Amino acid sequence: MNSGINVARIRSIGAAYIAEARINQMSKWKGIIAIVAIGNPLFYLIAIGIGVGVLVNQNSGTAGTGGVEYITFIAPALLASAALTGAMDETMFPVMEGFKWRKLFFAMNATPITGGQIAIGVFLAAMLRVAFTVICYWILLIAFGVVTVAESWDVVPITMFAAGGFGATIMALTARVKNEDYFMTILGRLIIMPMFLFSGTFFPLTNMPIYLQPIGWISPLWHATELGRHFSYGYPISPLMLLIHFGYLTIMLSLGLTFAQKIFSERLAR
Amino acid sequence: MPESLIIARGLTKKFGDFTAVDAIDFDVAKGESFGLLGPNGAGKSTTMRIIAATSQRTSGTITVLDRDPEEHGPQIRAHLGVVPQQDNLDGELTVTENLFIYGRYFGLSKKFIRAKVEELLEFAQLEEKRDAKVDALSGGMKRRLTIARALISEPDILMLDEPTTGLDPQARHILWDRLFRLKEVGVTLVLTTHFMDEAEQLCDRLVVMDKGKIMAEGAPSELIKTYSTKEVLEVRFGSERNKEVAPTLREMCPRIEELPDRILMYVDDGEALLEEIVAKKLHPTTSLVRRSSLEDVFLRLTGRSLIE
């Protein structure tokens, strides 16, 4: 019997071993991750923030954006969008790979590691990637002079929290997927794309006719964006709405993680 | 009586209405090499997954290393090495990285793993491939790496599900040699196979499974002695005439099996029987006298070939 194996310890920190492995796997993609983390904000800030921003500000001043420059208005939304996309990449693909493409989760589960620990480990590693993306973005926002460190530092943890809620939900949904072609097409084209367009990213959600606004209400991106605006440039939100935004994302996070752990364990036990 | 590492009684696994494993009993002793032989779908892999504490039984009892896998999965898995039917290595990582990551899942120290990796690379004959990406390895190399990976935690039992399926003959022989070495140093092996030659080479004792049930149990030589004759005479008369001559052959031998392409005749002296056949002017187009194998045992027990 190998006495170097401490099962009690693995039971308590096993998820950290999985996160360590995931980070190891991600490091193979570090070049691409870095290019996306820096290139994405750079392109968006220049094209939309400055390019479209000039157009908006010339035509309507700051009236349509609640009294701030257009770039200030969309910066927290672009930040949230990048964070949520990063969270999705690191929860959807590893889960498909783990259960179907390479069956890596079955290898992990042949050790003392449990299905629930695999879910938490994948999630923790995804959050690390999100942290990297968000911090890169934030530094660029400061460099562009869009926000200042003092007034916007809290946007970083809040955006990460929102991305966590979204990532946990995507992880739980992906864990059941047998045929990824359908799933990825529907998710990408019919959910993510409209979410990006109808979550008050480029214009206030209230500009939409009322019957289209519910798309924003159910979208985690809208909640993340509203919070981001509030904490980066003091966009006013009532205490009730603050509670709703945080509450919605907290529910996504806790339901996502709870179901992901359960579904992972069931699928591994077949 | 040596210590039993695995004890199963009335072990049953159902998937809905389908009974994959049907009330089987078996014991695996410490240091023994135990095989589950049977065709695809016999319930071998399901049994392996129950032993490995990744799938729960429907009824019956099983203890693995003195524990119930239903309640103590992580404790049991901490002392098993599992080689699944399909290699589930991380193809994007290198050989060494795969071993290293896996060792971490057992909470082993980096220092311990580093030393162990060297030992295992040598064992698996993969020293030259240590920094190669796993996707670039041959099937035999991947298989050896999966076995090396399963050994990183110095398991008490090594579980191998179809270890050589899909490998070419040379790769199979290299793998058998490696497994034989493990057996020599006293590692307890539990393996499934549908190759009778593999079972004969590697197993001290085996159970023959079919449709979820155990049909027979014993050492390969015992099974052959109990369920078959010393020799087998295989004769072919061409697909047209096989049927025609079968009744005559049946009168000459207490047990014959008509297969689509040939007729198997079970006797203790094959040459003598062949002379009798020739004396009757039946003239088979080809004939072969061979020793009985586990394939014949399986045919006797189930009326079907192992590989169809």
Interface contact flag, B92 A25, Cβ < 8 Å: yes
How many CB atoms are closer than 10 A to CB A29?
A: 13
Interface contact flag, B105 A18, Cβ < 8 Å: yes
The beta strands (E) that lie in B144-269 are given as 157-161, 188-193, 205-210, 213-218, 231-236, 256-258, 263-267
pLDDT at B20: 96
Q: Within an 8 Å CB–CB cutoff, is residue A25 touching chain B?
A: yes
- Residues B223-244, buried b or exposed e (16+ Cβ, 10 A)? bbeebbbebbbbbbbeeeebee
pLDDT at B283: 86
Residue B266 pLDDT exceeds 90: yes
Integer Cα distance of A156 and A228 in angstroms? 9
pLDDT at B107: 95
Residue B281 — pLDDT band, cuts 50, 70, 90? confident
Q: Residue A7 domain-assigned?
A: no
How many CB atoms are closer than 10 A to CB A234?
A: 11
Interface contact flag, A112 B105, Cβ < 8 Å: yes
Interface contact flag, A107 B102, Cβ < 8 Å: yes
Nearest to B107 among A10, A109, A270 (CB): A10
**Residue B59, strand partner residues:** B12
Nearest to A4 among B90, B105, B108 (CB): B108
Interface contact flag, A108 B105, Cβ < 8 Å: yes
Parallel/antiparallel/unpaired status of strands B213-218 and B33-37: unpaired
Percent of chain B with pLDDT over 70: 99
To the nearest whole Å, the CA of B5 is away from the closest chain A CA by 12
Instruction: Give phi and psi for B166, each to the nearest 5.
Output: 85, 0
Mean pLDDT of chain B: 93
Nearest to A103 among B88, B92, B153 (CB): B88
pLDDT at A4: 80
pLDDT at B205: 96
What confidence tens digit (pLDDT) does each residue in A114-167 have? 999 999 999 999 999 999 999 999 999 999 899 999 889 999 999 999 999 999
Show the DSSP H helices in chain A as ranges: 7-26, 30-44, 53-60, 70-96, 104-109, 115-143, 149-152, 155-174, 180-185, 193-197, 213-218, 220-233, 239-269
Q: What is the mean pLDDT of residues A222-244?
A: 95
pLDDT at A263: 98
Mean pLDDT of chain A: 93
CA nearest neighbour of B46 among B9, B17, B85: B85
CA nearest neighbour of B46 among B282, B164, B213, B172: B213
Q: What contacts A33, CB < 8 A, 6 or more positions away?
A: A26, A129, A132, A133
Matching residue, tokens 């307890």: B188
**Between residues A3 and A71, which one has the greater pLDDT?**
A71
**The two three-digit tokens of residue A203, written as one number:** 């214009």
To the nearest whole Å, the CA of B132 is away from the closest chain A CA by 14
Residue B1 — pLDDT band, cuts 50, 70, 90? low
Q: What contacts A34, CB < 8 A, 6 or more positions away?
A: A136
Residue A83 — pLDDT band, cuts 50, 70, 90? very high
Q: At CA A220, angle to CA A216 and CA A221, rounded to 5?
A: 70
pLDDT at A192: 86
Residue B2 contacts residue B30 (beta carbons within 8 Å) = yes
Chain mean position to CA A39: 17
pLDDT at A175: 96
Residues of chain B with CATH 3.30.70.980: 229-291
CA nearest neighbour of A21 among A99, A120, A100, A96: A120
Q: Residue A213 domain-assigned?
A: yes
Q: Residue A235 domain-assigned?
A: yes
- Cβ-Cβ contacts under 8 Å, B147 against chain A: none
Q: What is the mean pLDDT of residues B147-169?
A: 94
Q: Residue A120 domain-assigned?
A: yes
Q: Within an 8 Å CB–CB cutoff, is residue B66 touching chain A?
A: no
Matching residue, tokens 């008509």: B258
What confidence tens digit (pLDDT) does each residue in A16-72 have? 999 999 999 999 999 999 999 999 888 988 898 888 888 888 888 888 888 899 999
Residue B308 pLDDT exceeds 60: no
Q: Residue A117 domain-assigned?
A: yes
Residue B304 pLDDT exceeds 80: no
Instruction: Give phi and psi for A6, each to the nearest 5.
Output: -110, 95
Residues of chain B with CATH 3.40.50.300: 4-219
Q: What is the 3-state secondary structure (H, E, C) of A5-38?
A: CCHHHHHHHHHHHHHHHHHHHHHHHHHHHHHHHH
What confidence tens digit (pLDDT) does each residue in B181-190 have? 999 888 999 9
Q: What is the mean pLDDT of residues A240-248?
A: 97
Q: What does each C-alpha distance from B298 to A174, B126, B211, B288, B293 come to in angstroms?
A: 43, 37, 13, 20, 9
Q: What is the mean pLDDT of residues B31-54?
A: 94
AA identity, residue A44: Y
- Cβ-Cβ contacts under 8 Å, A2 against chain B: 78-79, 106, 153-155
pLDDT at A1: 65
The domain B229-291 having CATH identifier 3.40.50.150: the answer here is no
Parallel/antiparallel/unpaired status of strands B33-37 and B205-210: parallel
Q: What is the mean pLDDT of residues A251-259?
A: 98
Q: Positive or negative CA dihedral for A5, A11, A12, A14?
A: positive
Return the CATH number of the domain spanning residue range B4-219: 3.40.50.300
- Residues A246-258, buried b or exposed e (16+ Cβ, 10 A)? bebbeebbeebbe
Quick one: angle between helices A115-143 and A7-26, nearest 10?
40
pLDDT at B306: 64
Residue A224 pLDDT exceeds 80: yes
Q: What's the number of domains chain A is made of? A: 1
Q: Which residue of A has its CA nearest to B52?
A: A110
**Residue B188, strand partner residues:** B157
Q: What contacts A20, CB < 8 A, 6 or more positions away?
A: B101, B104
**Between residues B305 and A138, which one has the greater pLDDT?**
A138
Q: Within an 8 Å CB–CB cutoff, is residue A238 touching chain B?
A: no
What confidence tens digit (pLDDT) does each residue in B15-25 have? 999 999 999 99
Predicted-assembly ipTM surpassing the 0.85 threshold = yes
Q: What is the mean pLDDT of residues A209-238?
A: 94
Q: What contacts B308, CB < 8 A, 6 or more positions away?
A: B39
Q: Positive or negative CA dihedral for B42, B298, B241, B237?
A: positive
Residue B192 pLDDT exceeds 90: yes
Residue A122 contacts residue A98 (beta carbons within 8 Å) = yes
Q: At CA A33, angle to CA A28 and CA A35, rounded to 5?
A: 125
Residue B196 — pLDDT band, cuts 50, 70, 90? confident
Domain that holds residue A61: 30-269
Q: Residue A195 domain-assigned?
A: yes
pLDDT at B288: 94
**Between residues B298 and A256, which one has the greater pLDDT?**
A256
pLDDT at B307: 58
Integer Cα distance of B223 and B219 in angstroms? 6
**Residue B286, strand partner residues:** B236
Per the document, the length of chain A is: 270
DSSP conformational letter for B167: -
- Cβ-Cβ contacts under 8 Å, A7 against chain B: 74-75, 78
Percent of chain B with pLDDT over 90: 79
